[in-house]
A and B are shown apart, each in its own frame.
Chain A
């Protein structure tokens, strides 16, 4: 029975077109070579997990996908990253437009010190997604619903987002990211600051988000990767060691480094 579910999931993962393609990506922080020649295809409507020991470059690679690394002066990215076959590092690409298409959720919940409503409405506002106040209200409601936060937030839309619990704040950040109608959602250890119950809620949410987005999640918890993802990439010292279906990585890893990591010998 369990196997059936895995196969079904894998079918979803492999049948879909690839959304993101990375070719020979190298990242340097000054002299530090943080990502070494990474090639990977990330599928649409799939949850892809990045795992690996801390400092191996998971976050760095994730930040390449929406060019958040641009804000770090010493960071240099080489190679090609294509989204829908367009090179996102092409000089014609404006990172602002890119980031509306590739939303991001951070490790620590970071709502703006504004109301819940304003948090969600900010993205649509600056991208001109809503023509009227009613449109905006609708975007806010549907984003909060998708983030499974509507029931908790609907009566306090105009109270500060910073006044919510950690788990609620993280779901608010997810709602904020969804509100700009992205196609890809990047999540950098979204549950590491949450308690187990909030973590379970967010994981459930991620599974639902897969219907609409290509989700890439960095996690330090292998159980989490196994629970939420269909594809898993294992990074080690800046190399992408192994990339395959999640169940295959966890049951039958090809590379000895992957095996020792998941069996707890490195990390």
Chain B
């Protein structure tokens, strides 16, 4: 038997019996080249995304990490009894009558004493520009908390002003101060001298994570804690409402509802809802929960309800997908031994769908946690400047803010110190999101490992 191909393509092997497998023909070469090219594109795309991710992370860390440290000035404040407690009976109500302004002269004296050894032409009255204007309140709060301090000389670590803090962090240069009425270069000489002796230190600032927001002029005092609480309350509302409602709706639609045009319509609408811009849910929440139902503005309950509207489609879609992924043979098996439809779902289908449902829910929650636009519409950008538990987010109905809204607020403010805090807030938000994702992964592993 002679091979006809031998006539068409010249023999590549010495024996002349058809094509050699050792040499690639043009078609194969072309195909391999295309494959190699495609792989190269893929790797390039991957490298590109990794590069962007790295740049993003670098920017976040570089800009945000300084927000977690703060500059403090150590001063020894004399707390004379004749100024702070005129009646001398340590009555707390009398002590409270002395306002923070009453403490400012004491702090000024302390500063004069602290800088006694330093040669400077800063007037005594201007020394306090180095400190945060919150210094008086810091000392006053300490005295009210512990009236026995009156009559002693007590060492305080008070916040430095944001300019001094910026100088310590390299954000503020001496040249920048020429047009600045808040601080002079001479102040910086004092800061330099004090930091030599340990009077000015920069250390980790828990108040940035746990504290409340502060006024526009006191970025050094602002913290994320209250907004964090607001976000936590909101997420509780979202979780408690959207998980049961979403899962129940999906189970009904997927396992019980008849297949007809009504369910088809509902299905299409749910898919579309998932793609509706979040601000639409915001205005819906404003109209329904605040204007119609008269729930309080800026309350985490309203924020949570609004975000629930937004999260439900996500949860319904992922739950239905994971219910669909459960093989129909499991359903037939259960029905075949006489389980009711309800038992089939709860004994067999739902446990198998659980990992997917939980993952979907947590991803939905994470989305809701980072959502800003709807919060702006329902006023969840409350300015709360006092710490827990004084008059703030002690509940679902008190006005509050939320983490992304707080970040937005900070980014809007003029002072560059707030810009730094906005980046720091982003880090906290990302840590939250990462934690949620890790929980999702752990839960998924835990449920999948059963079989």
Q: Which residues of A contact B (CB under 8 A)?
A: 66, 68, 71, 73, 96-100, 103-106, 108, 110-114, 122-123, 126-127, 160, 162, 173, 176-177, 179-180
B26 interface contact, C-beta 8 A:
no
Contacts A96-B339, A106-B329, A126-B339 given; indicate if A112 touches B334 (C-beta within 8 A): yes
Which residues from A are CB-within-8-Å of B341?
71
B338:A96 contact, CB within 8 angstroms: yes
Contact partner of A99 (CB less than 8 A), chosen from B259, B327, B335, B347, is B335
In whole Å, how far is B325's beta carbon from the nearest beta carbon of chain A? 13
Extra contacts, 19 of them, besides A105-B336, A110-B332, A126-B347 (Cβ < 8 A), are: A68-B335, A98-B338, A99-B336, A100-B338, A104-B332, A106-B329, A110-B327, A110-B333, A111-B333, A112-B348, A113-B330, A113-B451, A114-B451, A122-B337, A122-B339, A123-B338, A126-B337, A126-B338, A176-B333
Contacts A73-B258, A113-B352 given; indicate if A100 touches B332 (C-beta within 8 A): no
Which residues from B are CB-within-8-Å of A160?
451
Which residues from B are CB-within-8-Å of A126?
337-339, 343, 347
Contacts A126-B343, A160-B451 given; indicate if A110 touches B337 (C-beta within 8 A): no
Pairs A-B, 10 closest by C-beta atoms: A110-B329, A100-B338, A123-B337, A99-B338, A104-B336, A110-B333, A113-B451, A96-B340, A96-B338, A73-B259
Q: Which residues of B contact A (CB under 8 A)?
A: 258-259, 327, 329-341, 343, 347-348, 352, 450-451
In whole Å, how far is A248's beta carbon from the nearest beta carbon of chain B? 32
Q: 12 pairs across A/B with beta carbons < 8 Å? A: A68-B332, A68-B335, A68-B336, A71-B331, A71-B341, A96-B338, A105-B336, A106-B332, A113-B450, A122-B339, A160-B451, A180-B338
B333:A173 contact, CB within 8 angstroms: yes
A176:B332 contact, CB within 8 angstroms: no
Which residues from B are CB-within-8-Å of A100?
337-338
Contact partner of B336 (CB less than 8 A), chosen from A73, A103, A162, is A103
In whole Å, how far is A113's beta carbon from the nearest beta carbon of chain B? 4
Report the separation of the CA atoms of residues A177 and B333 in the bound assembly, to the nearest whole angstrom.
9
In whole Å, how far is B176's beta carbon from the nearest beta carbon of chain A? 67
In whole Å, how far is B351's beta carbon from the nearest beta carbon of chain A? 9
How many contacts between A and B, using CB within 8 angstroms? 68
A101 and chain B: residue at smallest CB distance:
B338
A112:B343 contact, CB within 8 angstroms: no
Which residues from B are CB-within-8-Å of A122?
334, 337, 339, 347
In whole Å, how far is B448's beta carbon from the nearest beta carbon of chain A? 11
In whole Å, how far is B432's beta carbon from the nearest beta carbon of chain A? 34
Contacts A110-B332, A112-B348 given; indicate if A176 touches B258 (C-beta within 8 A): no
Report the separation of the CA atoms of residues A122 and B347 in the bound assembly, to the nearest whole angstrom.
10
Which residues from B are CB-within-8-Å of A106?
329, 332-333, 336
B337 and chain A: residue at smallest CB distance:
A123
Which residues from A are CB-within-8-Å of B352?
113
Report the separation of the CA atoms of residues A180 and B352 in the bound assembly, to the nearest whole angstrom.
24
A112:B338 contact, CB within 8 angstroms: no
In whole Å, how far is A65's beta carbon from the nearest beta carbon of chain B? 12
Which residues from A are CB-within-8-Å of B330?
110, 112-113
Which residues from A are CB-within-8-Å of B327?
110
Which residues from B are CB-within-8-Å of A177?
336-337
B258:A97 contact, CB within 8 angstroms: no
Contacts A106-B332, A112-B348 given; indicate if A180 touches B337 (C-beta within 8 A): yes
Contacts A73-B258, A73-B259 given; indicate if A99 touches B329 (C-beta within 8 A): no
